[in-house]
Structure 1
Amino acid sequence: MSNGSDQQSQTKKDSKAKTNKPSIVNIVNVAVAVIHYKDQYLLGFRDATQHQGNRYEFVGGKIEADESAAQALIREVAEETGILLDNNTIVKLGRLYHDYGDKQVSLQVYKIELTAEQYEQHRHCEQGLEGQALTWVSKLQLLAGEYHLPTANKTILEWLKLPSKIAISYPLAHFGTHTDAAAAWLQHHQEKLASESWVYIRLKDANSKHLTEQLITARPDILAILPNDNEQPLNGQGSLTANETEIGQRIVGKHLTHSTLMQCFNEVGSPTVLTQSLSKDHPLIVSCHDIASIMAANKLANMRIQQGLPPVIGTFVSPVLATQTHPDDTPLGWEAWSALAELADMPVIGLGGLEPAMLNQALQYGGISVAGISQFI
């Protein structure tokens, strides 16, 4: 796949020099392969004599000086398991920098889904080509923490919770012709949201907390992303009701707009007071439109990992295509969108003029998920 024009390529090169990597000279660059077939994920087991031994791990290994991360990943997986990934779609999840004390690592993490034929060929293999134990585990077991992974992998598990499609609620103004716009909004979303979907509820209205609570109560199967400014209990009181405790368990993330994200850092890139007020109880999803916001998102993501806070689990990069809701915004197009996606240290979600059927296209261009309003509800 083409990475865009010469100008875009140069922009990517220039921008990579600005990424928020720790100032560590002796850092080990590692390619990590999150290999799966549907909801079955492949794990290896590290020998007790190895660094971070007696732990399960995703397959992967050191990136050599003459290799790209993807090339290293294909080579390492073949050497360790015999699985050949040359023709598989390799999707970047993100990059992680972790200091174990005795070793510093930079993990470039990719997700690869096997074909049914590949899975059948390898699913009964209990030992890798280097003698290491191999096992297939369910996504449910993996996310539940039933398999002890190295510390740096904690963020990867959070990334894996992202669905392939995210719905975004209609604004309340969309129902302005109804006698009771709030009631119409609630009924529409209650009836039209797909089963067990993730939905970013972005109401900009005094009734937003009340409507959010009503929707989540009426649809206990959905998981909600809420604006970061919605920090107080939904009922506006100082303590949580039993119902809100249950609702709180179904809030999977808080969202930062592009403008809020950029306010997190001053002109020299130092964190502002706003950064400290971001949700400490939920992961974050941020909105990015350009290189500057991607760099800010990377810096915020690294800071939260270093501080032991819930990570940045994704970024809406938009607009991919032209949209009816923002007709004056110039669309990025797939090539420029892909260039931005490559710079992000977290999973990228396509937004703007998309529909669910475009998921495969997003995967080909470096995204992990797609989102939208009218085509997703």
Structure 2
Amino acid sequence: MHVVAGVLVDGAGRILIAQRPPGKHLAGMWEFPGGKLEPGETPPMALERELDEELGIAVDPLSFEALVRIPWTYGDRAMLLEAILVRAWTGEAKALDAAEIRWADPRDIDPALLAPADRPILAATRLPSHYPITPPDVSVDDALALLASALARGERLLQLRLPGLPTEAVHGMVAQVLPELRALGATLLLNRDIEGARAFGEGVGVHLAASQLHQLDARPLPLSQVVAASCHNADELARAAALGCDFATLSPVQVTASHPGAEPLGWPRFARLAEAASLPVYALGGLGPDDGMEARLHAAQGVAGIRGFL
């Protein structure tokens, strides 16, 4: 079943969510407005029709921007949920087919209120286009300087990966930058360190290694903290989605100095894997900030990297 969802974004950056009415599957849960494609419809055509029927607004499909495609299964019902950003419309949105509609900042929406298939869409609205990762061989002072520089230029999602330093030193760094992270609404992910992320709470999450994915039985942190995972194939992407990770990195896309013996995926294979994943995916490996457009054209949320970003 092919379903299209509209992510309406107003001038204040708020998005619209709708509550499913009584009597429907997942009644009472919130979702992004939209519905099933009818025979002969393209996703833009279906979304234009659905938003007219459900909200009473007129939209221009030429202004649509693809956000993310989420394959999902509810019991024995399989579907492809295609989310499209909508930034321009005429008319005032009304709850014509929902129990209620609500405008909210994406950061203020509790993912637990959303239907499970809509949670990756919310994650995609929150995630930036860049995901810098600290070089693994820098000192504490250099790492702090790199983080400060990245935050100053607008980066809002970073990974702290310093395998050569003691855990106490890494946690000391986090304690120093945490007030600024929270003031800016930024997120710092600790590499592999679930307990550290749990202890720091707001503003800190964890980036799981691929080896951790099959060691866990459930999402290791609450929905209020970001969980990501390093993936290299379809099985790892599926496991990351099953654990409820907010996003994954998929690597290596190109030849990279950090893993010179690894066979690169290349963009076509990356796109096939990312489109089949049930969560947002960053392209990683031999890439820099200038590869962002290419990554978006191949189903990526954005690009991640080390020395090209920090």
Q: Would you say same fold, with TM above 0.5? A: yes
TM-aligned CA distance change 1:324 to 1:36, over 3 Å:
farther
Could you tell me how far 1:285 is from its partner in structure 2?
A: 1.8
1:65-104 to structure 2, matched below 5 A, reads 73-81=43-51, 82-85=58-61, 88-99=64-75
Gapped runs of 5+ residues in structure 2? 52-57
Question: Shift of residue 279 of structure 1?
Answer: 2.4
User: Counterpart of 2:230?
Assistant: 287
Instruction: Rate the CA distance shift 1:34–1:317 in 2: closer, same or farther, 3 A.
Output: farther
Higher relative contact order, chain-length normalized (CA < 8 Å, sep 6+): 1
Distance 1:154 1:137 in 2: 16
Shift of 1:201: 1.1
Distance 1:62 1:192 in 2: 42
Q: For residue 224 of structure 1, what is the aligned residue in structure 2?
A: 188
- What amino acid is aligned across from residue 62 of structure 1 in structure 2? K
1:250 aligns with 2:198: no
Equivalent residue for 2:31? 57
- The equivalent residue for 1:165 is 130
Distance 1:50 1:276 in 2: 30
Which 5+ residue runs of structure 1 have no aligned equivalent? 1-28, 176-180, 235-243, 265-273, 305-310
Matched to 1:183, the amino acid is D
Instruction: Return the match for 1:325 from 250, 255, 258.
Output: 258
Identity fraction in percent = 22
In the aligned structure 1, how far is the partner of 2:194 from the partner of 2:113? 32
1:275 partner letter? L
Number of matched residues?
293
Determine if the alignment matches structure 1 residue 139 to structure 2 residue 105. Answer: yes
Q: Which whole-Å deviations, capped at 9, do the CAs of 1:123-165 have from their partners, x for residues lacking one?
A: x33248xx436957233475246x9544553454345432221
| Aligned counterparts of 2:106 and 2:267: Cα–Cα separation in 1 | 33
- The C-alpha deviation readout for 1:225-277, integer Å capped at 9, x for no partner, is 1223x23448xxxxxxxxx95x32222333223x444xx2xxxxxxxxx2348
Q: Which amino acid aligns with 1:166?
A: Y
Task: Give deviations 1:106-136, integer Å, cap 9, x for gaps.
Answer: 3433332335xxx1x33x33248xx436957
CA positional deviation for 1:349: 0.6
User: TM (normalized to structure 1)?
Assistant: 0.65
The corresponding residue for 1:184 is: 142
SS of equivalent residue, structure 1 residue 362: helix
Which structure is larger by alpha-carbon Rg, 1 or 2? 1
Query: 2 CA distance for matches of 1:44 and 1:280?
Result: 26
| TM-score normalised by L of structure 2 | 0.77
Native 8 Å contact 2:253 2:285 kept in 1: yes
